[in-house]
Amino acid sequence: MEARRYLQDIGSQVSADFIKNRSILSFEEYVSLFFNDPRVQARNAAQYLHDVMDHYGTEQVPHPSGTIRRFKVFDATSSDRDGRVAGQEEVQNDIYRLLGNFVRAGRINKLILLHGPNGSAKSTLVNALKAGMEDYSRQPQGALYRLGWVFPSEKLIKGSIGFGERVESTGGDVSSYAHLDAEAIDVRMPCELNDHPLFVIPPPERRKVLESALKKKGLGTGDGESGDFILSDYIRDGEMCHKCRRIYTALLNSYAGDYLKVLRHVQIERFYISRRYQVGTVTVEPQMSVDAIAQQITADRTQLNLPAALHGVVLYEPHGPLVHANRGLIEYADLLKRPLEAFKYLLGFSETAEVPLEPFVLQLDEVLIASANEKHLGAFKELPDFASFKGRIELVRVPYLRRYKLEQQVYDAQITSTSVGKHVAPHATEVAAMWAVLTRLKKPIPERYATEVKELVDHITPQEKLHLYEESRAPARLSLSNTKELKKLRADLYDESDAYPNYEGRAGASAREIKTALFNAAQNPDFKCLNPLAVLQELEAICQDKSVYEFLQQEVVDGYHDHEEFVRAAEGEYLERVDSEVRDSMGLVSEGQYRELVERYIQNVSHWVRGEKMRNRVTGENERPDEQRMAELEAIVMPKGEDAGEYRRGLIAAVGAHRLDNPDVGMDYSVIFPDMFKRLRDHYFEDRKRVLRKNKENVLKYLSEEKGTLSSREQAQVESTLKTMAERYGYCEHCAKDAILFLMKKRYG
């Protein structure tokens, strides 16, 4: 009984969902649904996908150009473990813009070709769109309906029970077979092309119905001029597929032109986008076969249950990716790896939305997205046929990421303690991401910049460019004025090579190769965690295999493309982070003390710049800014050779600019002046190097067999340090020991 009750509960829920989702409708019920919300029901595939991207919303995210719009549909709307797209906001906006063009044109007249190096997230972008479509199609506002036909049992129509008692009336003079029980139906024939239900209405009358319904909702007539909504050619003028048209014509003849009797056989079914079952979205892999076929079904003796009116009608069912993807999205993965003849039909399809088959012509409504790498695209451009394709293709570049924190997100999503079977130490994925991005950067071309900044641009190193892109951080070696100039050039440097065939982000280590290196590092027997040091060893191994990795063959230019040196640069970055985290965990000086010191300094500088006196906190008297205090701090934080007056005025200008850009955010000087805080920390710890060395040695003793040699006070101090390292930064005892040993060897030996 327990099992029965359980199954009854499930059955009740499934039945309730079926009714709530309006899964099966008669044609009259669908028309009522259409009049209630004509915009939702009159969308073509481009409008639907455009609405999918709108449905999940957008947000403004940081970008080297300032901020940029990010579409949340790319933030893993499904349960996909690695479904989120890291970065690539420029590509997202390009796709949205092109869909908007299709909407305004009223037709999908081009193929979107995503091109870029291998592993630059082209497929991930499309998969995120597909996942969004799947989820949206299950929402009330994303409901999709398709045409189908039902033929009741001969016994039902001619038997003693009588026709009227078993056919459900939906109001008015129209009756329907749509809701008959299964045993009362001889044949049910769905439409393989997912034909739009409105296609049952002949085009001239359909246009009138569409315009009338849209007008009543204040959407104009669908021409885009009288309202926001634009009717697509597919919805306004499209017609039923070959099979549905044959059935419709045969029934109309059988009923002597009685249209309402034909509508009895129409069953409207809600369908859902599905990648797994290839409904409304399909991925076509490189292959030789054609993407659509048709087979005759009336020659099959299993179809003898068809009514007499259809016995002499030849019916064909189309099949294949183009058919399954209709009213959705079709993806051609690595399109240009296929022989040209295998996709030449796209020339006509992208322009007319039609594909000729032997018995008939398919009329389709689907967004076409393809991917290709740069090598194949370059070869394709050399073919004589490229001129024909050029006007029917929209090229969207998908480069490698050039910001290491975004690159790290790619690895963090897949490199977890579960996937590698051990703890992932802090910075393991970060050092890999830094190295990967460094391999992709190109030396700027000074001639593209104004004379006064040419030298500044010419001397920027790959590591400095890395931090300029990510944190808008200029090199500490620069004066305040040069720092300001370089930050202004951040967007120009980022966009500099966009117009070049060999653009920045076209070459370098791919995320796939780095993920393999991370998984290999996790198997290193010398470390109990996935350790950054093991990752660095794997990166060094990659650098030795120039015959396998093409990007390693690039010529070194002023430090750029020096991939072995980049391993050492990543190691240096790791050392900086470990040193800072260990010092902080020891709690010798709190972050609050640095903040207070800088805040007092800025207050003095602010009054100095304005030529005002300031109130002494102790005496309450108004006094001139403390010149000695300012000079003491400037001796630590001000770049050598800088004029103190210019430096102070530059600081106040930076504070003012930050307040203008962030009016709703409080003043956090550690964000505005990160270099100042770093110099303060380094200066303090340089003075306390002996104490630091002693404390780190105590940690190592504690984690070894020499724990007993430490006093209870020293043990308590070490335990506090390890606890802070674990809670604040994610270290376990194993990786904490490895990190401190490495740090002692490199900096405190």
Distance (Å) of CA 749 to CA 110, 581, 740, 744: 64, 18, 11, 5
Q: What is the pLDDT of residue 539?
A: 95
d(CA 591, CA 598): 11
The amino acid at residue 451 is T
Token pair for residue 676?
């100042």
Q: Quick one: pLDDT at residue 168?
A: 43
Decide if pLDDT at 560 tops 90.
Answer: yes
Which of 375-389, 623-637, 695-709 holds the top average pLDDT?
A: 375-389
- Checking if the pLDDT of 204 tops 80, the result is yes
- Give Cα 95 to chain centroid, integer Å: 12
Q: If you average pLDDT over residues 402-414, what whole number do you get? A: 93
Q: What's the whole-number mean pLDDT along residues 308-322?
A: 79
- Overall average pLDDT of the 665-680 stretch: 80
**Length of the chain (residues):** 749
Percent of the chain scoring above 90 in pLDDT: 41
Average pLDDT, the chain: 85
Q: Which of 38-42, 81-85, 209-213, 463-467 has the lowest mean pLDDT?
A: 81-85
Mean pLDDT, rounded, for 24-37 = 91
As a whole number, mean pLDDT of residues 11-31 equals 74
What pLDDT score was predicted for residue 234?
Answer: 92
Give the model's pLDDT for residue 706: 79
**613-645 residue pLDDT tens:** 888 777 778 888 888 888 888 888 888 778 888
Question: Using one digit for the tens of pLDDT, what is the confidence trace for 568-604?
Answer: 999 999 998 998 888 888 876 666 777 888 888 888 8
**Does the pLDDT of residue 557 top 80, yes or no?**
yes
- Picking from 595, 584, 592, the residue whose alpha carbon sits closest to that of residue 727 is 584
Q: How confident is the model at residue 13, as a pLDDT?
A: 66
Confidence grade of residue 349 (pLDDT, cut at 50, 70, 90): confident
Rg (CA), the chain: 34
| pLDDT the model gives residue 167 | 42
Whole-angstrom Cα distance, residue 573 to residue 180?
A: 71
The model's confidence at residue 466, banded by pLDDT at 50, 70 and 90, is: very high
What is the 8-class DSSP label of residue 729?
A: I
Above 70 in pLDDT, residue 545? yes
Statement: residue 682 has pLDDT above 90: no
What confidence tier does 494 reach under pLDDT thresholds 50, 70, 90? very high
Determine the pLDDT at residue 49: 96
pLDDT band at 426 (very low <50, low <70, confident <90, very high): very high
Q: How confident is the model at residue 687 (pLDDT cuts 50, 70, 90)?
A: low
Residue 541 reports pLDDT greater than 80: yes
83-103 mean pLDDT: 93
* Lowest mean pLDDT across 82-96, 223-237, 369-383: 223-237
**DSSP assignments along 590-619, one per residue:** -HHHHHHHHHHHHHHHHHHHHT--EE-TTT
Nearest in space to 492 (alpha carbons), one of 448, 429, 558, 542: 448
The larger pLDDT score, comparing residue 524 to residue 184, is at: 524
- pLDDT at position 20 is 58
User: What pLDDT is attached to residue 343?
Assistant: 83
Q: CA 704 to CA 727: how far, in whole Å?
A: 21
Q: Is pLDDT of 164 > 50?
A: no
Task: Report, as an integer, the average pLDDT of 39-48.
Answer: 93
Structure tokens at 460: 């920027």
Mean pLDDT within 524-551: 91
Tell me the helices (H) and strands (E) count for the chain, helix number first: 34, 19
Query: Which stretch of 245-254, 286-295, 414-423, 648-657 has the lowest confidence by average pLDDT?
Result: 286-295
Percent of all residues in the chain with a pLDDT value above 70, rounded to a whole number: 89
Q: Is the pLDDT of residue 174 over 60?
A: no
Alpha carbons 698 and 609: distance in angstroms, whole number = 47
Q: How far is Cα 682 from Cα 699, in angstroms, rounded to an integer?
A: 21
Average of per-residue pLDDT across 345-357: 84
